[in-house]
């Protein structure tokens, strides 16, 4: 069987997405976009293994959990079902911060780090010190595995912490706080593949702004003067959150930002002093 026939079969008969079928093929056979095109009419290598992963997709398992990895610009993150699969808007937030902030020699904290994607990407090519915090021990084993492989031992510290608690207790001050906390209300209807497979502790918040309020409250003890805070947010509550942030930081510059789909997705706060 050729790659072309295999892809057609799983697209047409099993209604799998082309990109997901290709992700499995790349993963199993170490191919990329170009090398697959060049081999489109060649015999498929490792067909039983490819079928094994494609069967998982047919069962509804998200591709990143099926192959236990996620790639961002060439960096591979290990994943399992204890951590959220990074979303495009989170990668956008990372890009925004990289463009706006001089990260060299800064101290950053990623609150609710999960796979570690935000903190690790921000610290990866700089001398930045990053604290990677999460309340879930199972999630932190994933963070540890990724940080150990991608960062140098000197520029990260992983801590089990209820939001910023550990840093408050240790009297730590940081230049940048970033968080994509749980923000989905129990009433929101989610895709079955999200609801059934992703960790609920990473998704849901009740009330929906609970985690933001707590982080803002604790951040008053942690964020340095002129430091910055970035949140990924639920567009439904953007204005309410902006008002809330302004109450905690009356003098701060607070900006709401849109994602590539024009949804209000991010909040930036500069702790002007």
Ligand X SMILES: C[S@@+](CC[C@H](N)C(=O)[O-])C[C@H]1O[C@@H](n2cnc3c(N)ncnc32)[C@H](O)[C@@H]1O
Q: Which is nearer to ligand X, 7 or 143 (CB)?
A: 143
Q: Which is nearer to ligand X, 135 or 150 (CB)?
A: 135
Q: Does 180 bind ligand X (CB under 6 A)?
A: yes
> What contacts 112, CB < 8 A, 6 or more positions away?
133, 134, 135, 163, 179, 180, 181, 182, 202, 211
Q: Which of 10, 70, 182, 208 binds ligand X (CB under 6 A)?
A: 182
Q: Does 178 bind ligand X (CB under 6 A)?
A: no
Residue range at the interface with ligand X (CB under 6 A); choices 20-28, 35-43, 156-164, 252-260? 156-164
Q: Does 140 bind ligand X (CB under 6 A)?
A: no
The Cα–Cα gap between 209 and 147 comes to: 29
Q: Which of 97, 123, 163, 222 binds ligand X (CB under 6 A)?
A: 163
The Cα–Cα gap between 161 and 140 comes to: 10
The interface mask with ligand X, positions 101-120, x = CB under 6 A, is: -----------xxxx-xx--
∠ CA 146-148-150, rounded to 5°: 65
Distance of CA 69 to the CA centre of its chain: 13
Q: Is 270 helix (H, G, I), strand (E, B) or coil?
A: strand
| Residue 232, phi then psi, degrees to nearest 5 | -85, 140
User: Could you check whether the bond before residue 207 is cis, i.e. omega within 30 degrees of 0?
Assistant: yes
CB of 44 to ligand X, least distance (A): 33
The Cα–Cα gap between 159 and 206 comes to: 24
Q: How far from 267 is each of 38, 134, 179, 204, CA to CA, in Å?
A: 44, 21, 10, 19
CB of 52 to ligand X, least distance (A): 27
| Closest residue to ligand X, based on beta-carbon distance | 112
Residue range at the interface with ligand X (CB under 6 A); choices 46-54, 83-91, 242-250, 251-259? 83-91
Q: Which of 139, 177, 238, 269 binds ligand X (CB under 6 A)?
A: 139
Q: Which of 162, 239, 243, 253 binds ligand X (CB under 6 A)?
A: 162
Q: Is 257 helix (H, G, I), strand (E, B) or coil?
A: strand
CB of 86 to ligand X, least distance (A): 4
The residue ranges that bind ligand X (CB under 6 A) are: 83-84, 86, 90, 112-115, 117-118, 133-136, 139, 161-163, 180-182, 201-202
């Amino acid at each position: 069987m050729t790659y072309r026939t295999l892809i057609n079969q799983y697209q047409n008969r099993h209604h799998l997405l082309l990109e997901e079928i290709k992700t499995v093929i790349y993963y199993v056979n170490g191919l990329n976009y170009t090398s697959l095109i060049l081999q489109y009419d060649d015999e498929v290598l490792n067909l039983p293994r490819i079928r094994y992963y494609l069967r998982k997709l047919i069962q509804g398992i998200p591709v990143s959990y099926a192959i236990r990895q996620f790639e961002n610009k060439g960096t591979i993150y290990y994943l399992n079902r204890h951590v959220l699969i990074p979303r495009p808007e989170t990668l956008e937030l990372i890009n925004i911060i990289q463009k706006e902030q001089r990260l060299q020699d800064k101290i950053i904290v990623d609150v609710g780090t999960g796979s570690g994607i935000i903190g690790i990407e921000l610290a990866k090519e700089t001398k930045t010190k990053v604290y990677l915090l999460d309340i879930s021990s199972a999630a932190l084993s994933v963070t540890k595995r990724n940080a150990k492989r991608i960062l140098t031992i000197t520029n990260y510290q992983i801590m089990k912490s209820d939001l910023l608690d550990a840093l408050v207790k240790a009297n730590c001050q940081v230049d940048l706080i970033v968080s994509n906390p749980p923000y989905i209300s129990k009433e929101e209807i989610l895709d079955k593949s999200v609801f059934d497979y992703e960790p609920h502790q990473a998704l849901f918040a009740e009330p929906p702004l609970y985690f933001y309020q707590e982080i803002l409250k604790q951040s008053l003890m942690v964020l340095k003067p002129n430091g910055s805070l970035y949140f990924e947010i639920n567009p439904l509550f953007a204005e309410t959150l902006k008002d809330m942030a302004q109450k905690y930081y009356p003098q701060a510059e607070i900006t709401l930002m849109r994602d590539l789909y024009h949804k209000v997705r991010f909040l930036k706060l500069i702790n002007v002093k």
